[in-house]
Chain A
Amino acid sequence: MTEPILSVRNLQVEFASRRGTLRAIDGISFDIAKGEVLGVVGESGAGKSVTGLAVIGLIDPPGRIAGGEIRLAGLRIDNLPPEEMRRIRGKRIGMIFQDPLTSLNPLYRVGDQIIETIRTHLNLSETAARRRAIDLLAEVGIPAPEKRIDGYPHEFSGGMRQRVVIALAICAEPELIIADEPTTALDVSVQAQIISLIKRLGRDHGTAVMLVTHDMGVIAETSDRVAVMYAGRVAEIGPVQDVVRNPLHPYAKGLMGAIPTLAGDDKRLVQIPGSMPRLSAIPRGCSFNPRCAFAFDRCRVERPEPLPRGAQSVACHLYDNVPAESAA
């Protein structure tokens, strides 16, 4: 395998608070290869968005990256000086945020915001940048881009604004796009369009995508691999079919069980009892143990490390000392 576009090793992110340091991300590792879409799922507060922000270097004080390393195509980027990191943001890593209604500056024309971003990163003249902006708007599926480029954000619908946001994220041909819940704020009918747009762009440009969402449907449809996060750790990571059809971690099993099917059986959806611990009260050992039906003594004392299981990797003591064959 060639070198991954993004490689995160043992990343830790902490937030200093009045009541001590809270660890939002506690030692996560994952890779994203060129052209690959990695879905990141988990409940609210599992650390999905913080992971994305850490990669693009936008963790604001009182938060900080406390340990581990992030490499972009081999280059370590978690400890770069701010000015160098700024040059990478938007140029080599693009980001799409959740709410397209608030992501664009309301006082500037859409085109001016795109041109500004293009000219920050690429050495283009005003007219060349404008031409490129029109092409980008056409590429993300905005009709009559040569007219719409002079519109203000409020003249666009939510879905159209998210397209503009995507155009902004890809305007300097980044190697990696971080999409933080790109469809959550959108209409269901528009969601599918945006998802297929992101997928198509990733394929056409060979861009790696980190897709953060809590929507398993979106993940199943878009991703090549999926990482299930729980309380700041990766519970399970693997190819999307494997994880969806054959989840290993009890939490992942619970998540998959909570997806309604169209098959028509009117069984009650499985619910995971309890809720995710607050950052200030993460239990000892495996953070999932209070909610886990399979928890045993070891889970309450010792933190499970990721164990390879075929193409998957799972952080659960259930799979320790068990031969790989009998796991499936």
Chain B
Amino acid sequence: MLAFTLRRALQAIGVMFAVGIIAFSMFRFAGDPVNQIVSIDTPAAEREAVRKSLGLDDPVPVQFVRYFGNAAQFKFGVSYQFRQPVSALLMERMPATLELAICATVFAMVLGILMGVYSALRRDTLLAKLFQAVSLIGISLPTFLIGILLIYLFAVTLGWLPSFGRGEVVKLGWWTTGLLTLSGLKALIMPSITLGLFQMTLIMRLVRAEMLEVLRTDYIRFARARGLTTRAIHFGHALKNTLIPVITMAGLQFGSVIAFSIITETVFQWPGMGILFVQAVQNVDIPIMAAYLLMVSLIFVTINLVVDILYTVVDPRLRSTIGRAA
């Protein structure tokens, strides 16, 4: 088990190293970084001074090692447009994005699993068919459109919910949260739905398909032959077996939720990392883009690692095969 975890952690470090190379090379592909820092009429001598002071005249491998070393300590350099350390900018924005992503995922998991189980067990009811139809809409409608439709309905027409921003936030150390104020909670509703709808429909369809699959298995038939109650069979035996692929998908999707929150954050002017990234793209703010890339991949890699470990918690078969392999 420990060997397994360590091996997976080493693989994760390998992936991060590869991403680091890509992030680093972004600085070169986008042209001479010095040009982006100085103005057009800066004399050449001054350019060289800047180049030297930033260490840009060192050989590329040296620069890379330095960049990666700094990145490992969460130092991503200084933003071109804000003239502030990138890590400070990201830290300031991270709580907003994480809160949004977590709310969206919880929304997607809870509703997705409930709807999926219902539509698998009561396949022929009207409600189950309605869920199927809704899930098609959720899968095919683009996020920004859902966001705009929600804003039009609940913010513009009905005026129930704010159309943009995070509402009032409370500071808890360096973390800012909107969960403790009414306006913060209200502001969270529409972005969470917008961001989570796609995941919810995905989870719902997956749960439904898996559940139907599991209900056909021999051990479910045997459980029925043993006279267990329908409730115990459906929610004890079937659901637990259904949840393995669901955990994987929800886990992996959490990375996408954070990565794709860019669109939702833009639509709702949510002050998170996504918006920071969009602004960075518009202003060719390479340090922010590179740092964002690194961070999103770090999140993906971490989630993968956690999901792999969670598997072994849920599925005893993996526990022993891993134990034997190790």
Mark A residues whose CB is within 8 Å of B. 56, 58, 86-91, 94-95, 97, 99, 102-109, 116-117, 120-121, 152, 154-155, 165, 168-169, 172
Known: A86-B228, A89-B225. 13 other contacts (CB 8 A): A58-B224, A86-B227, A89-B227, A91-B227, A95-B225, A97-B222, A97-B225, A106-B316, A106-B317, A108-B240, A109-B316, A152-B316, A154-B316
Known: A58-B224, A154-B317. A102 touches B218 (CB 8 A): yes
Establish whether residues B315 and A107, one from each chain, have CB atoms under 8 Å apart when the complex forms.
yes
Given known A107-B240, A107-B314, A154-B320, contact A97–B218 (CB-CB < 8 A): yes
Distance in angstroms between the alpha carbons of A79 and B232 in the assembled complex: 23
Contact B228 A117 (CB under 8 A): yes
* 5 CB-based A-B contacts, threshold 8 Å: A89-B227, A102-B217, A107-B240, A108-B237, A165-B222
Task: Provide the main secondary structure of the chain B interface.
Answer: helix
Contact A121 B227 (CB under 8 A): yes
In the complex formed, the residue of B with least CB distance to A174 is B227
A-B contact count (CB 8 A): 80
Task: Please list the 6 inter-chain residue pairs (A to B) with the smallest Cβ-Cβ separation, ordered nearest first.
Answer: A90-B227, A89-B227, A102-B218, A95-B225, A90-B226, A152-B316
| B325 CB, nearest partner CB in chain A, Å | 15
A106-B219 in contact (CB<8A): yes
Is A103 touching B218 in the complex (CB atoms < 8 A)?
yes
Does B228 lie within 8 Å of A120, measured CB to CB?
yes
Complex contacts, B307 vs chain A, CB 8 Å = none
Distance (Å) between the CB of B224 and the closest chain A CB? 6
The answer to whether residues A105 and B237 also contact, given A90-B225, A120-B226 and a CB cut-off of 8 A, is yes
A58 engages B225 (CB within 8 Å): yes
Q: Which residues of B contact A152 (CB under 8 A)?
A: 316-317, 320
Which residues on the A side are within 8 Å of B240 (C-beta)? 107-108
Separation in Å of the A273 CB from the closest CB of chain B? 35
Within B218-238, the residues touching A (CB, 8 Å) are 218-219, 221-230, 232, 236-237
Q: Assess whether B304 is interfacial by the CB under 8 Å rule.
A: no
B237 partner residues in chain A, CB cutoff 8 A = 105, 108
For B223, what are the chain A residues with a Cβ–Cβ distance below 8 Å?
105
CA distance A79 to B98 in the complex (A): 56
Q: Do the beta carbons of B227 and A87 come within 8 Å of each other?
A: yes
Report Cα–Cα, A16/B284, bound state, in Å.
Answer: 66
Rounded to whole Å, the gap between the CB of B321 and the closest CB of chain A is: 9
Partner of A168, one of B224, B226, B236, B317: B226
| Complex contacts, A95 vs chain B, CB 8 Å | 222, 225-226
Whether the Cβ atoms of B316 and A107 lie closer than 8 Å is: yes
Contacts of B227 in A (CB 8 A): 86-91, 117, 120-121, 172
Cα–Cα distance between A235 and B241 once the two chains are bound (Å):
42
Which among B222, B232, B240 has the greatest number of chain A C-beta atoms within 10 A? B222
Cα A179 to Cα B320 in complex, Å, equals: 31
Q: Which of these, B219, B229, B236, B320, contacts A104 with CB under 8 Å?
A: B219
Q: In whole angstroms, how far apart are the Cα atoms of A94 and B226 in the complex?
A: 7
Q: How far is the CA of A150 from the CA of B320 in the complex (A)?
A: 14
* Bound: A107/B244 CA distance, A: 10
What residue in chain B is nearest A178 (Cβ atoms)? B225
CB distance from B285 to the nearest CB of A (A): 49
Complex Cα distance A58/B226, Å? 11
Instruction: Name the CB-closest residue of B to A118.
Output: B226
Question: Is there contact, CB below 8 Å, between A86 and B316?
Answer: no
Cβ B221 vs Cβ A97 within 8 A: yes
- In the complex, residue of chain A having the shortest beta-carbon distance to the beta carbon of B218: A102
B221 and A58 contacting across the interface, CB-CB below 8 Å: yes
CB distance from A115 to the nearest CB of B (A): 12
> Complex: how many Å from CA A87 to CA B229?
9
- Smallest CB–CB gap between B211 and chain A, Å? 14
Shortest CB distance B293–A (Å): 38
Q: Please, which residues of chain A bring their CB within 8 A of the CB of B222?
A: 95, 97, 103-104, 165, 168
Q: How far is the CB of A74 from chain B (nearest CB, A)?
A: 20
Partner of B219, one of A105, A109, A116, A154: A105
Question: B219 touching A103 by the CB < 8 A rule?
Answer: yes
Are B229 and A120 closer than 8 Å at their CB atoms?
A: yes
The chain B residue with its CB closest to the CB of A92 is B227
A89 B316 Cβ-Cβ under 8 A: no
Q: In the complex the two chains form, what is the Cα distance from A104 to B228 in whole Å?
A: 13
Point out the residues of chain B lying under 8 angstroms from A117, CB to CB. 226-228
| In the bound complex, CA of A312 to CA of B218 (Å) | 36
Contact of B228 (CB < 8 Å), options: A58, A107, A116? A116
